[in-house]
Structure 1
Amino acid sequence: MEVENIKPWLFRVQPYQGESLSHFLGRFRRANDLTPTGLGKAAGLGGAIAKWEKFRFNPPPSHQQLEALATVVGVDADRLAQMLPSAGVGMKMEPIRLCAACYAESPCHKIEWQLKVTQECDRHKLSLLSECPNCGARFKVPALWMDAWCQRCFTPFVDMAKC
């Protein structure tokens, strides 16, 4: 048996409705114990994964790049494209923003929260948070949200809805 011909298998991760690509990539990488570099190599995308996790979409991912990523993550390229900001829509790379009430209902970062035109949650009519209301720490990029709490004081995101 030739070891070179054995293909690695990966755990599949289903995207949430409205989830940002950054958050999805982080969840997929953690489920498969991959680094951004490891996922980039598996998809043949080099350092693109690390850029996308930080919302650096200039230039935006091409359809060919999304197809390559889709092959590895097992999610259709068109579905991955839905996790990106729409063409021509301004986006904030920083600060990372959050509606804690939405997060309590569906534990994921929504791409709409990073759009420049979005100042509050349409559903809950709450201002988007850009820092922990308990300690003032800014939120890390969603790809790093593995415990769903403030990285400094450990206040759970769902508890921030009360603020």
Structure 2
Amino acid sequence: MKAEDIQPWLFRVEPYEGESLSHFLGRFRRANELTPTGLGKAAGIGGAVARWEKFRFNPPPSRQQLEALAIVVGVEADRLEQMLPPAGEGMKMEPIRLCAACYAESPCHKIEWQFQVTQGCKRHQLRLLSECPNCGARFKVPALWVDGWCQRCFMPFAEMTSKQKLFYC
């Protein structure tokens, strides 16, 4: 199956400002009932979607891959590129991190939270969370965030703000 065959039937999903590619791909796949493999096949990029959802960008996505994905998801390749870490920026694949205050304002995972140099949220001056403050469960990859809450105890991400410690930039 090619992108041209299914494109008219796909639901569009608009990216959030600063959203990580992992989170966006998960939202797009759920809206269209696609697996990572199905999306990769439709775009002609194979297993790349599954890797990118886990922040595995080595090798980084090529321009050709981003353009192929752009056709399927209906988002410009340049916009998809903004969801990736800048060239030379070190990434933490684990643990997945979250600023609950940011999430309360815009319900998405921000790519900057996974940068190696990022320890806290400069906007809210809060330390990033890497696990649920209620039950201690590590956060799943953002592609799997469906309802914006801990997958073990169901505490909403937005309510975790009160558990974040101050961070001094």
TM bin, normalised by shorter chain, reads: over 0.9
Partner of 1:38: 38
For residues 37-56 of structure 1, what are the structure 2 equivalents within 5 Å?
Answer: 37-56=37-56
Residues 1:58 and 2:58 are matched in the alignment = yes
What's the CA shift for 1:60? 0.3
Q: Which whole-Å CA distance do the structure 1 matches of 2:144 and 2:122 have between them?
A: 25
Structure-2 residue corresponding to 1:20: 20
Q: Within 1, Cα distance between the matches of 2:52 and 2:17? A: 19
2:29 alignment partner in structure 1 = 29
Shift of 1:147: 1.0
Secondary structure at the residue paired with 1:78?
helix
Aligned residues: 159
Q: Counterpart of 2:5? A: 7
C-alpha deviation, 1:43, in angstroms: 0.2
- Aligned ranges 1:71-110 → 2 under 5 Å: 71-110=71-110
Deviations 1:86-116 (A, max 9, x none): 0001110000000000000000000000001
Give the corresponding residue for 2:166. none
Q: CA deviation at 1:7?
A: 2.7
CA distance in 2 between partners of 1:151 and 1:38 (Å): 24
TM-score calculated relative to the size of structure 1: 0.96
Structure 1 segments of 4 or more deviating over 2 A?
none
**Unpaired segments ≥5 residues, structure 1:** 1-5
Quick one: percent identity of the two aligned structures?
82
Question: What do you get for the CA RMSD once the two structures are aligned?
Answer: 1.2
Structure 2 alignment gaps of length 5 or more: 164-169
Counterpart mapping for 1:122-137 below 5 A: 122-137=122-137
